[in-house]
């Protein structure tokens, strides 16, 4: 199946999808980060299954209008779920960051959702335990219902906190 990885860099999820046999269009905002995806695909020997494209989701959907069986949005977030591994995050974040980030996440999700084919799925994930960045963002999306939702918040032991949602078009 053809899959769109909307926030692809540095490429771990893209590579995983491609090694599972999917053709992946890897999209990211920054060309130098997309080069990491390209380098990884060459290293693993699956460059023929991955195409990369620079795009800013805050400007709208992809101009091509292509539909995909699956769309993955691992959205930029506050990363508060990985503070255990990256304690410096707690000193970089402001109280205003989660609401501002949620606005961006809603826009990215809305614009990427345009590319979900009829009968396709949309996966949304963040490495944040805040419902404002997870369920709150998903609830703002019209035309989709939640098929599955996962949250590892609060994390147990050495786990990171994350949220993930599998959505289907209604």
Point out which residues pair with 26 in neighbouring strands: 5, 52
Q: Which of 7, 64, 77, 127 is catalytic?
A: 127
Contacts of 160 (CB under 8 A, 6+ apart): 81, 82, 84, 85, 127, 152
Q: 28 with 7: CB under 8 angstroms? A: yes
Q: Tell me phi and psi for residue 141, to 5 degrees.
A: -90, 120
Identify whether 127 is a catalytic site residue.
Answer: yes
Q: Provide the 8-state DSSP code for 155.
A: P
> What residues are labeled active site?
127
């Amino acid at each position: 199946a053809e899959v769109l990885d909307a926030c692809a860099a540095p490429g771990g999820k893209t590579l995983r999808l491609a090694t599972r046999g999917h053709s992946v269009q890897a999209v990211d905002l920054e060309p130098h980060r997309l080069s990491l995806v390209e380098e990884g695909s060459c290293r693993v020997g699956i460059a023929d299954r991955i195409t990369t494209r620079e795009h800013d989701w805050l400007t709208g959907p992809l101009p091509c209008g292509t539909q995909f069986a699956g769309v993955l949005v691992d959205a930029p977030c506050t990363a508060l779920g990985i503070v255990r591994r990256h304690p410096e995050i707690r000193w970089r974040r402001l109280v205003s960051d989660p609401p501002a980030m949620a606005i961006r996440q809603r826009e990215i999700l809305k614009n990427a959702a345009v590319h979900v084919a009829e009968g396709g799925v949309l996966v949304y994930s963040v490495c944040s335990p805040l419902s404002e960045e997870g369920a709150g963002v998903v609830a703002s999306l019209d035309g989709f219902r939640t098929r599955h939702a996962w949250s590892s918040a609060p994390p147990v032991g050495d786990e990171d906190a994350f949220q993930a949602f599998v959505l289907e078009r209604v």
